[in-house]
Structure 1
């Protein structure tokens, strides 16, 4: 199928993209990043923008760098850019673990980090890892720049705190160089998206969990943080008993009646999957914590 006609602009700077968003405020306007969600939607008629603003060549939206205790990832970095960064693997282990499970090689060579997070598909792989990692999302609009904690970014299915003329420019990840990060996922058999995915970021000191970030996607209509699981882990040894107890609390703060439902899984089944994949993410953390480092 072919999309409807639209006007196309290629922005050279963030400011130019924001100006274009304001100038076309009365039209249905979309930003083009990697295009893996937008273009199929346009071809099938699910999305019919009047204006398309391409931000792929905006230099300021690229790059991966460490500044003090923060890893900064430009929103237009492709998944493969992040996976090719040693800094990203060192400082954002839960996020890179989730990126590794996104789509296939072709998707990872084209899709972008910022596009994934801003699109807010409840079945995408990164929202849970962003929540577990305490990511900060930096956005820019007509009134300047502001920073949104991941906990305050997601409102619902495809709904975020981004304003109509704002652009996600970069994400800031507090360094987790001393932590263990994992991601466990039950992929949809038809799409590869997450029926349920759970990210874990744990700091372990002398065999005891000193800090824990647990985030999930696919279960609810937006990414959620599993605070009862975190509370069950902190101060405990990371063993099978602790993991089983913590995983059993995966749905404690969630209204299971509002779990996602589709042809592949009922809400009740997703609730069960959430506990199972929380346990698997934590078991993977045990394996990574006990694995010898490259320096050993």
Structure 2
């Protein structure tokens, strides 16, 4: 199907992009990598009056250090995030999760910020972003503001972004020396997660000193498994202790039932996959 007609603009700076959004109004759409937006346009599930292409905004690309954080530009592709040495050293969980996003073609075109802003609860980057306490830097006509991941994801496909605002970068606290794993359960390769678990841990000696666990597709937004984290901290890094902690994974979740799985099965998967993810992370 052919998309409905729309105006097109390709700004070269964040300020120009924000101005274009303000001028176009609520019926505008922002184009990043296009991996989510273009299919929606082709099916006419969205009919924007204006399409704002961020492909020429160079400042939105790349990974850099800023003290105790990494700063990832919103237009940085999944492929570049996967392979960036700073991400691999200081944010291993993001690298592991990005490895599972779709297929190589999508990872070369799709963008880190686009996936975050799309806010699909089955998307593979939301739970790691939440687990790592990332912060979203948002630009609007009034300047820039920073929103914690816990406050950024509001509901299904809904974020704290206002219609005239852009996600420009994501600040990721460094987790240097932490081990990480992303355990994903799906029907076929490259499909959306039915359930997935993002786990990153810091081990001292034979005990788990710190733990962060996020759940994918267990609610309308990504979920932080605080009960699991609390049970892991100070526990021995043994299969028995990890299984006991993972038994708390479904607490506080509200998964849906659909054609892929019912809610009870998703809660079972959350417990099972959490055990696997933490075990793999500790072993790494």
Q: Separation in 2 of the partners of 1:87 and 1:287?
A: 22
When the two chains are superposed, the root-mean-square deviation of aligned CA atoms in Å is 1.2
Task: Give the CA deviation at 1:261.
Answer: 2.2
Report the alpha carbon displacement of residue 268 of structure 1 after superposing the two structures with TM. Answer: 1.4
When the two structures are aligned, how many residues end up with a matched partner?
A: 284
Q: Which residue of 1 aligns with 2:75?
A: 76
| Matched-pair contact (CA < 8 Å) for 1:75–1:170 | yes
The residue aligned with 2:7 is 7
Answer whether contact 1:122 1:217 (CA < 8 A) is retained: yes
2:120 counterpart residue number:
121
For structure 1, the residue ranges without an aligned partner over 5 or more in a row are 289-296
Q: Is the 8 A contact 1:94 1:132 kept in 2?
A: no
Partner of 2:19: 19
For residues 64-103 of structure 1, the C-alpha deviation after alignment (integer angstroms, 9 at most, x for no partner) is 1122221111110000111121111111011111000000
CA distance in 2, matches of 1:151, 1:182: 21
Q: Give the corresponding residue for 1:291.
A: none
State the partner residue of 1:54: 53
Q: Quick one: distance in 1 between partners of 2:194 and 2:211?
A: 23
Q: What residue in structure 1 maps to residue 276 of structure 2?
A: 280
Q: Distance in 2 between matches of 1:22 and 1:191?
A: 36
> What is the DSSP-based 3-state SS (H/G/I as helix, E as strand, rest coil) of the residue aligned with 2:194?
strand
Cα distance in 1 for partners of 2:247, 2:153 equals: 25
TM-score calculated relative to the size of structure 1: 0.93
Q: Is the 8 A contact 1:202 1:285 kept in 2?
A: yes
- Partner SS, residue 194 of structure 1: coil
- The 5-angstrom pairing of residues 69-218 of structure 1 reads 69-189=68-188, 192-218=191-217
The offset of 1:222, in angstroms, is 1.2
8 Å contact from structure 1 (residues 122, 221) kept in 2: yes
Structure 1 range deviating more: 3-12 or 184-193: 184-193
- The one-character-per-residue Cα deviations of 1:40-65 (angstroms, maximum 9, x if unpaired) are 01111222211110011101101111
Aligned to 1:294: none
Structure 1 stretch displaced more, 204-213 or 229-238: 204-213
SS at match of 1:199: strand
Q: Tell me by how many angstroms 1:286 deviates.
A: 2.3
Residue 261 of structure 1 is matched in structure 2 by 257
Distance 1:67 1:107, change over 3 A: same
For residues 8 and 176 of structure 1, the distance between their equivalents in structure 2, rounded to whole angstroms, comes to: 40
SS of 2:231 mapped into structure 1:
helix
C-alpha distance in structure 1 between counterparts of 2:53 and 2:90, whole Å: 30
Q: Which runs of 4+ in 1 moved over 6 A?
A: none
State the 1:30 CA deviation.
0.6
The gaps in structure 2 that reach 5 residues or longer are none
Preserved contact between residue 24 and residue 49 of structure 2 (Cα < 8 Å) = no
Which residue does the alignment assign to 2:38?
A: 39
What secondary structure, in the 3-state scheme, does the structure 2 residue paired with 1:56 have?
A: coil
* Cα distance in structure 1, aligned partners of 2:267 and 2:155: 18
